[in-house]
Amino acid sequence: MTTAKDLFIVAMESGQEPAVGQGDLSLALAGAELIDLLGAGRATLDGDRVVPGEPSAPDDRLLGEAAAAMVRQAPYERTADWLWRRGGDLSATYQSALEADGELTPKRGGRLSLGASRMEPVDTPARREAVDRWERREPVLAALASAVGIDGGRSDGEPGLEDEAGLEDEAVTTVVAAVHDAIMELEAVRQRRSVENAAFSNMWRVP
């Protein structure tokens, strides 16, 4: 399983209240894909720009699509731009892929709704691997989960993003920080729209 698929499963099983937002998760999934591509040598970072690496496709289909989607002409794409472009509705894409692979099954009253139906992970080796990675608080997965609001019951004495959650690779830390910034920007957009909608509604209520 890839980091993105592990993150999707962790998000579904987190029991977060409120549930993880689809937009937030999509941005984090795009970051997870980029981190896996960096780890596989299929991309590097030059500052904050994503430089494509080897043209060969990864074994995972969705990771292969991510690799194929990289901008391959200088000056290349900024990390933040990659997250917004690749992350568009990516959580729904992962739901469909995992369902097709038999990793998800419909559930009534599930925690995370990413479409018309609610799903839950099937108890497969891939799901157990994702859960084990989460329970070990593997730094990359823990950092991305933190970005979407999943802290796993971390105490105040445990590491958080401020000390990179144990991340040692500078490029990975750059991607995680970009995911946090993008999610904060998305939340700012939500709040602005909420204020604008409330103001519009109040205007029509004035006698």
Copy the structure tokens of residue 167: 């991340």
Count of domains for the chain: 1
The whole-angstrom separation of Cα 147 and Cα 153 is 14
**Looking at the chain, which runs of residues are DSSP E strands?**
43-46, 49-52, 77-78, 104-106, 119-121
Highest mean pLDDT among 9-23, 82-96, 114-128, 182-196: 82-96
pTM higher than 0.85, yes or no?
no
190 sits in which H/E element: helix 170-205
The whole-angstrom separation of Cα 163 and Cα 172 is 13
According to DSSP, residue 149 is labeled T
- CB–CB of 25/148 below 8 Å? yes
The whole-angstrom separation of Cα 183 and Cα 27 is 7
Residues in the chain: 207
**Predicted confidence (pLDDT) per residue in 174-202, tens digit:** 999 999 999 999 988 878 776 666 655 55
**Which residue type sits at 163?**
D
**Looking at 21-106, which runs of residues are DSSP E strands?**
43-46, 49-52, 77-78, 104-106
Q: What angle do CA 129, 134, 159 make, to 5 degrees?
A: 155
- CB–CB of 65/93 below 8 Å? no
**Predicted confidence (pLDDT) per residue in 4-25, tens digit:** 999 999 998 876 656 788 899 9
159 exposure class (CB count in 10 Å sphere: 0-12, 13-18, 19+) = middle
In the block, which residue shows the tokens 């894409």?
93
Copy the structure tokens of residue 149: 């609001």
106: β partners: 119
Copy the structure tokens of residue 48: 């904050």
Domain hosting residue 157, numbered range? 3-205
Nearest Cα to Cα of residue 147 among 93, 184, 191, 189:
184
**Which residue type sits at 42?**
R
pLDDT value, residue 203: 58
Top-confidence residue, 202 or 41: 41
pLDDT value, residue 16: 64
What 3-state class would DSSP assign to 11? Answer: helix
